[in-house]
Amino acid sequence: MNSKYERLFESRKLLGGKTVKNPMVMSPMTTFAGQSNGNVSEAELLYYKRRAKNVGMVITATTYVTPSGKGFSGQFAAYSDEFLPSLKLLAQTIKEEGALAILQIFHAGRMALPNEIPNGETISASAVAPVRAGTITPREMTDDEIYYTIKAFGETTRRAILAGFDGVEIHGANTYLIQQFFSPHSNRRNDNWGGNIEKRMKFPLAVIDEVNKAVKNEGKSDFIVGYRFSPEELENPGITLEDTLAFVDVLSKQDLNYLHVSLNNFWQGSIRNNSITDPTILKIKDKIEGRVPLIGVGSIHTPDEALKALDSGIEFLALGRELIMEPEWLEKVKDDKIDEIRTSISKSDKNILDIPEVLWENIINAPGWFPITD
C-alpha cells in the first residue's frame, strides 16, 4: 500500500473510548429489500457482508421503532421482540467481517407510507404537510403518542443490544420525525414540545435520554450511541444553520459517542443561501470544539478526496454510493489497485455487486443518482 494512504487505515476512538479500526464508515442507505414480514432478507445480508470487510463501522439502513413509523417499502423492522432473530442475523453478518455494527433507528413521521402503516394515518409534531407533491397532511401527535414514541426508541435500543449490535444511530436527519420536531416548518406547537428553539429541541433530547437509559439498564457501558442531523432545510420557515449550530452545541454536551452530519457534498456551503459558500461542515466542526467526534459524508469518491476530507479535522468519513458501486473500495486502496476502483455502474455489473433487486432497479431508473455508463 502507498504509505500516503495509511491514515485511511489508522484506528480512531469514539467518545467514551471505544476503538474503531479505521475512520472509514459505511453510510446508512436504504436497501428496499426487507421481507414483507419486516425481517431482514438474505439479499440484504449478502449486501452487508460484501461491504463490511474493511470499513471501521457499518451503519445500517434505518429501521422503524413503531408500526406507524415505516418510511420505505421493503424496510426491515425493529419495533417488536419478534424481530430479534432477524436483527441478530444482521448484526452477526456485519461483525463477522470485522466492522462495528450500528443499527440506525427512526420514525418517519409525516414522511411515513400511508399504505403501509396502521389506518393509513401519518403523524407528526403538527398538522403541516410536507412541501412536495402527492403528500398528505399528518395528524398532530398527542402527548401520550409523543411519550409512547420516545419510549419506543428506548425499546428498540434494548433490542439492538440483545441482537448483538455495537451501537445505535438516532436518525434525526433527512426530514423524518425527530427533525420534524426540531423544524419550525413542521413543528407549529405552542406547548412543551414546540415554540422557541429550546422547546423544539425537547423531543430529540428526550429520545437521546431514553436511548441512554436503555443502555444503562442493559449494563452496556461500551454501547455506542450516535446522532445524525441535517444542518439546514429549504422550507420557509425552516431549519437554518444558526439553529443547527445552537443545537450542535447542546448535542455536544449530551451522552453521545459521535455526531453524524447529513450532506450531499462534504464541502458544500449553505443550501438556503447560495452566496454562502464556506463549507458547512467546518462551521459545525468549529462549534463542536472537539467535544465529540464527527462523521462527515458526501461525494467522496477517491482515496485522495478522502485524505483531503480527513485533513479538515473531521474524525470519521462515511462512504455511501461509493461502497455500493465498489464494495472493495478500501481493499483496493490497501492492495495498490486504486485504478481499479469503480466510480460508475454498468448495467452489466448487476450480478457481481450483490445489490438487492429493488435497490438495483431504483439505481438504474433514477437519472442522476448514480453515474451509469450504459
Instruction: Give catalytic residue positions.
Output: 176
Q: How many helices (H) and strands (E) does the chain have?
A: 12, 13
Structural contact between residues 270 and 280, judged by C-beta atoms closer than 8 angstroms: yes
Distance CA 292, CA 305 (A): 23
Structural contact between residues 225 and 211, judged by C-beta atoms closer than 8 angstroms: yes
Amino acid residing at 373: T
Secondary structure of residue 136 in the 3-state scheme: coil
Sign of CA dihedral 299, 303, 306, 307: negative
Distance CA 317, CA 229 (A): 15
Distance CA 311, CA 283 (A): 15
For the chain, the distance separating the N- and C-terminal CA atoms, rounded to the nearest angstrom, is 32
Distance CA 108, CA 77 (A): 13
Amino acid residing at 14: L
Q: Minimal CA–CA distance to 268: which of 258, 246, 249, 283?
A: 283
Peptide bond between residue 237 and the one before it cis (omega within 30 degrees of 0): yes
- Grid-cell match 432478507, residue found: 41
Helices (DSSP H) in the chain: which residue ranges? 42-51, 84-95, 143-163, 177-182, 197-200, 202-217, 241-251, 280-288, 303-311, 321-325, 329-334, 357-364
